[in-house]
Structure formats: structure tokens, C-alpha cells
Homo-oligomer: A and B are copies of this chain.
């Protein structure tokens, strides 16, 4: 018998900020003696808590079904195969990545389409959860399919020191844009400007935020990468240029709202500039993942794409790390190593 820990959701949380009390750590016992032929035993190694998971904690209809009460949280993660059934797709020692349960060790059907083997000789594990994973693909497809950046254009990015934002800005520089990042601290401004090469950083927590952003974009905004929504974005709409493109990647400011989130209506701004606001999720472009990963890997190997991670250690850090996403304390991709 194997004793394993798991994090389960105790209740759905329709609105408001989730707390530690909404989750429960359980121990879970299972036998690995009679592993079915196609099954493997997986040891969870590194986990990616992501903001979109907040939506699965509600009962609301979305592009992915809600988490089930009493069942383990499921998220993007990498695990190592420690035992393999005779007809398994995977061998002992393989690393698999995909949607995996937040459980320290578990039996997994190797035919599941939700995980794939990764080649860990190409890059460190962390990179598969950032630049060479869902995060990198999100930045890549959103830019290519919606933003279509052109040389000399102004690109503004909210949550610019976050997992996706940091990559969007660097790809923006590769494409020859003037890149302005919006972040929540002076320290993060240093990171995106000095380490990543953004042109300017603006702190939305500053009392002069509205003026600061106006100064940072004297030629207006051609591309606004939207991760955040709310008052951060309210300062951007009046600066849109004609034919601006706004890939809508997330609205983290709304995920925990307790009231109906109201704000200035933005349709007038989009109308008078002929701008495009388009929501997307990375799965929309699944058929183009392979091609995208090729280019991302080239940029990564050549040093044109850097990615910082905020790595917390230990199974007990899973929930606190997820909750920290909504406080904006992470720089780069938030991860938990077990």
C-alpha cells in the first residue's frame, strides 16, 4: 500500500477570495500491487498553480467544467513514472506533463489524453511549465493570432512580470515593438526593464498611475495584452490607437469579485478606434502547438527569451501558492516543487 497526500476542494466558492479553509489535505491509500496493464504510478514533482483554476472552483459554466467537491484539485503539473504496467505507454523514469491531480502519488491511465511524455534533456523541468509549456504557448498564439505585432508599434502588457506577461513583452521586443509593462511594484519594474529589456515599466499601485501610463505611451497603444481588467485597464482604453488589437488572456481582477463588477463601458473606445478585443484560451490553437514550441525553443536556446519563476517548496505550499496569485506577489511563473 502507498500512502499519498491529496488536496481536495471542500466547497464551491461562487465569489470572493478563496482561503486555506476552502481546501483540505487528505491522506489517501492505494495499492500498487495489482496495477492494470495500461496504468502507471506517478509521483508528482512540480506543479503549476494558475489563475484560470479560480473559475473551476465555482459552479459557473465556462470552457472547462467545475472541480468536484471532495475530489482532488486538478492542475497543470509534471510527474515522474515510478512503476509501469506491462502495456503502459510510459516507462519507469519517464516524466509526464498535463492535467494531473494535486496528489503526491497516484495511479494514472497512460492512455489519458490529458498528459504527455516530455523530453527532459531539452530544458529544465521548470521551463516545461513556463516558456516551453502552456504559458509560452498562450503568449505565442495570442500574439500571432490576435495581436499581430508590427515593427515600431506600441505594446502595453498588464501583469507584465507574471508568467505570461513576461514572455509577451520579450516576444514584443523580438518583433520590434516599443514594450510598456504594467506591474505592481518598483521591484518588478526593475525586473522587466533591466532583466527582460522592456522599454518602460509602470506601477499600477502608484497614486499617479493614470498619469504615469499616459506618459509612457506618447504615441498611444496599438496592442494591449489584457491579463487583469478593472481599473488597471480603465487607464488604457482612452489611449487606444486606430485598429488597436487587444488579446484578452485573463481578467484576474474579477475572479474573486463579490459584487457584480461594474466600470466605465468600453464599447465607445473600441468603436471610435475600430479596435478589436478578443478573448482566447490556449486550447483554441492546439493544432498549432508543435510549430509554436519549435520557435519558442529557438528563442529560449538563443537567450532571447528569459523566464523567471517563483518556486515554493513542499506539498503544503500548493494551496498558499495558488492563493498568492491573487495578491500578485509572484514574479514570473508561480510553481511548487514537491
A interface with B by C-beta (< 8 Å): 55, 62-63, 226, 229-230, 233, 242, 248-251, 254, 260-268, 270-281, 284
Contact = CB atoms under 8 A, between A and B. Distances in A.
Contact of A254 (B55, B229, B267, B284): B267
Contact of A261 (B62, B248, B264, B273): B264
A261 B263 CA distance: 8
Given A63-B242, A242-B63, A272 B279 contact: yes
27 contacts: A55-B272, A62-B272, A63-B242, A63-B272, A63-B274, A226-B267, A229-B265, A229-B267, A229-B268, A230-B265, A248-B267, A250-B271, A254-B265, A254-B267, A254-B268, A261-B268, A262-B262, A266-B266, A270-B277, A270-B278, A272-B279, A273-B279, A274-B279, A274-B284, A276-B277, A276-B279, A278-B278
Contacts of A233: 267
A268 B261 CA distance: 10
A35 B229 CA distance: 58
Contact of A263 (B242, B250, B265, B271): B265
Given A262-B262, A264-B261, A265-B262, A275 B278 contact: yes
Contacts of A271: 248-251, 279
Q: How many copies does the complex hold?
A: 2
Contacts of A226: 267
Q: Is the interface of A mostly helix, strand, loop or mixed?
A: mixed
Contact of A276 (B63, B265, B274, B278): B278
Contacts of A274: 63, 278-281, 284
A276 B242 CA distance: 17
Contacts of A267: 226, 229, 233, 248, 251, 254, 277, 279
A245 B274 CA distance: 14
Nearest to A269: B279
Nearest to A261: B265
A93 B59 CA distance: 68
A280 B271 CA distance: 6
Contacts of A277: 267, 270, 276-278
A266 B271 CA distance: 15
Contact of A275 (B251, B270, B273, B279): B279
A272 B284 CA distance: 12
A265 B264 CA distance: 8
A242 B279 CA distance: 10
Contacts of A275: 278-279
Nearest to A284: B274
Contacts of A284: 274
A207 to B, nearest CB: 20
A279 B266 CA distance: 11
A264 B263 CA distance: 6
A280 B272 CA distance: 8
Contacts of A263: 262-263, 265
A250 B260 CA distance: 25
A230 B262 CA distance: 12
Contacts of A62: 272
A63 B271 CA distance: 9
